[in-house]
């Protein structure tokens, strides 16, 4: 059986897309936590996807690797896996920073030293949303490329003439 990206990425992608549609103004901390949770779920799904497609019975093992163009495409898709994981982790880092800006401050006790002045700026939630939307578009294109390579491998006749 050929496993597809849809198996493990469909729900995480939908969860992130839903998190991105939520209202931010006045709910910054809730939005950032929802966004962060969706990114964590997407990272798990992406790791599962990579394990499935690159396994011995995954879709990369099912295609005809004797053709140089197919081999180049497979290698490109493998590099994209690394890039996609890197982008998810970078978005997680950025949203964690954004979340800190909206954490409630602890009320100091009578014997506490004053906290150091924080220079945290207000995060650009629009930029975070745009970057995640680009990530979702990249995932969609990546999925299409994987499906195309499988279909091309199955439908291309490289015989000596029938």
DSSP the chain: ----HHHHHHHHHHHHHHHHHS--TT-HHHHHHHHHHHHHHHHHHHHHHHHHHTSTTSHHHHS-TTSHHHHHHHHHHHHHHHHHHHHHHHHHHHHHHHHHHTSPPPPP-TTPPPPPPP-PPPP-HHHHHHHHHHHHHHHHHHHHHHHHHHHHHHH---SS--
The structure's pTM equals 0.80
CB 153 within 8 A of CB 63: yes
pLDDT for position 80: 97
Q: Where are the domains of the chain?
A: 5-104+127-155
The yes or no reply on domain 5-104+127-155 and CATH 3.30.2020 is no
pLDDT along the chain (162 residues), means of 10: 62 94 87 94 96 87 78 93 97 89 71 61 84 96 91 67 48
């Amino acid at each position: 059986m050929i496993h597809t990206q849809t198996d493990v990425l469909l729900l995480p992608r939908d969860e992130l897309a839903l998190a991105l549609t939520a209202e931010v103004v006045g709910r910054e901390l809730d939005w950032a936590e929802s966004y962060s949770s969706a990114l964590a779920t997407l990272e798990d799904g992406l790791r599962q996807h990579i394990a499935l497609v690159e396994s011995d019975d995954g879709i990369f093992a099912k295609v005809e690797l004797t053709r140089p163009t197919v081999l180049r495409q497979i290698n490109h898709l493998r590099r994209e896996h690394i890039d996609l994981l890197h982008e998810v982790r970078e978005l997680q880092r950025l949203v964690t920073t954004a979340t800190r800006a909206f954490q409630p401050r602890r009320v100091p006790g009578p014997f506490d030293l004053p906290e150091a002045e924080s220079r945290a700026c207000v995060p650009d939630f629009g930029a975070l949303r745009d970057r995640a939307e680009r990530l979702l578009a990249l995932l969609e294109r990546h999925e299409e490329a994987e499906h195309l390579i499988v279909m091309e491998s199955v439908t291309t006749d490289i015989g000596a003439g029938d």
